[in-house]
Structure 1
Amino acid sequence: MQAIAIAAGGAFGALMRYWVSTATYTWLGRGFPWGTLMVNVLGSFAMGVLYVLLLDRLTSGPELRAFLLIGFLGAFTTFSTFSIETFNLIEDAQLGRALLNAGGSVIVCIAAAWLGVVLGRQI
């Protein structure tokens, strides 16, 4: 049953990643990988909140945790996309943008996860 929950969450997460990143690129343009950064920050924040809620606060079943944490957020966040976009920036001799993307993604996503945990603990 957990495998089905993961697959369903993954399908939904992949669609949400597409919709959020497309909307972000429409809003901010494609000169920087804003869409990938956006989904990774939102996904990190959601992971922080849901981690606390599902593991500490609520009595959720393993299927719900699998659906949300492994399936949905696993497909929603985009580390492989982040990696290739950063590589492409390096290859295009845009080292400053590549460093900004790599450093910003790591720092901002960890901060978003921390904020999510803080919020989750207050709920």
Structure 2
Amino acid sequence: MRAGPLVVVAAGGALGSAARYGLAEAWPGPATGFPWATLVTNLIGCALLGALMRVVTTKTDAHPLVRPFLGTGVLGGFTTFSTYAVEARDLVAGGHLGPAAGYVLGTLAGALLAVRLGIWAAARWGQP
């Protein structure tokens, strides 16, 4: 394994995880409330990942470490499937079946839409 990609993924992951933590701290939800911070974090991350993938797959002069740093590192650290799964389980365990279903389905549909929106935005902002 080459050290370059590992180093940039680790550095990007540290930045993305710190950003996610900061957002969660700035927007704490009540213990039994809807996990808005995680939902918004994941949707933003999906939109940014869609835009990034549009850029790196259409731009021939993109540095080879851009995708591992930003995609796997920063955005992989920023988004969180594990927290999403725990929060969905907590909503179900607390008897909040409607909000749990909304969270699970809303995250899935929202994530797919956000990726598409990111691709569209990157195309509109000068990407071929």
Q: Tell me the TM-score normalized by structure 1.
A: 0.92
Report SS of the residue matched to 1:80.
Answer: helix
The question of 1:5 aligning with 2:8 is answered yes
RMSD of Structure 2 on Structure 1 (CA): 1.1
* Other structure's SS at 1:62 match: coil
User: Structure 1 residues 91, 71: closer, same or farther in 2, change over 3 A?
Assistant: same
2:39 is equivalent to residue 37 of structure 1: yes
Which ranges of 4 or more aligned residues in structure 1 deviate by more than 4 Å? none
**Percent identity over the alignment?**
35
Superposition pairs for residues 1-123 of structure 1, below 5 Å? 1-25=4-28, 29-30=29-30, 31-57=33-59, 59-123=61-125
Choose 1 or 2 for highest CA Rg. 2
Deviation at 1:50, TM superposition (A): 0.8
Partners of 2:5 and 2:27 in 1: how far apart? 32
Gaps of 5+ in 2: none
With normalisation by structure 2, the TM-score equals 0.89
Measure how far apart 1:21 and its partner are: 2.3
Gaps of 5+ in 1: none
Determine helix, strand or coil for the equivalent of 2:65.
helix
The alignment partner of 2:20 has SS state of: helix
Give, in whole Å, the separation in 2 of the partners of 1:24 and 1:108: 19
Higher helix share: 1
